[in-house]
Structure 1
């Protein structure tokens, strides 16, 4: 069964630890602006919501890529960007209805969540458990794997 990130906005404090961990994992710098996960603030900062690629089944990013640079990793269940094939045209970023693909001006390619190869650092870094790495059904909904007492 595939796994994906599940967000619980009511637990998010807006501390940006997820963004910092992501940027360090992928870019080697502590810079939230270079992260593949974002924390959005709503209600004048009273509500913080972490958000990244949902690895959706529709995969519009993959469908529109003219070079086939976005591929499905069957084991992870993630859509990955093959940087050697990406030409930086941004078609995938335009097609993504969730806005979770970013153009990286330093590389001239696009970046998106790759689930850190199965060990998402945003999950590890989150001090409140607002981000979980959970089993999902094919439709992308999370599956409750704990027994109710």
Structure 2
């Protein structure tokens, strides 16, 4: 694994780009057609799904399973107790109308993060956290 905080690869040719979802990046020779394949750890546990790769390098991008598990649980919640077909499931993705980038603590300090704030974030974050989310752009929708 190379990075745990990568944005999705840019899929301009298809007109679709994911945002505000951070992927695992690894140097691997993943090729087309393997999207959705599981990524397993040394103990044989599925930890991510193959999401895509870049043709200009040997980098592949993997979607961590916590996002998949969340969506699956929301879909399961739409089933009735007798197991019939689920109603249409709504998978909320947030409505902040902005995109974020993950920046390391060194970069956030250059952007003005105060030492006190960094210490609080490090204290309440999981061990090994490398940075914070920074607003990259506002998403404006015409009404």
TM-score bucket of the superposed structures, by smaller chain: under 0.3
Q: Looking at both structures, which has the greater relative contact order when contacts are Cα pairs under 8 Å and sequence separation is at least 6?
A: 1
**Rg comparison, structure with higher value:** 2
TM-score (norm 2): 0.26
More strand by share: 2
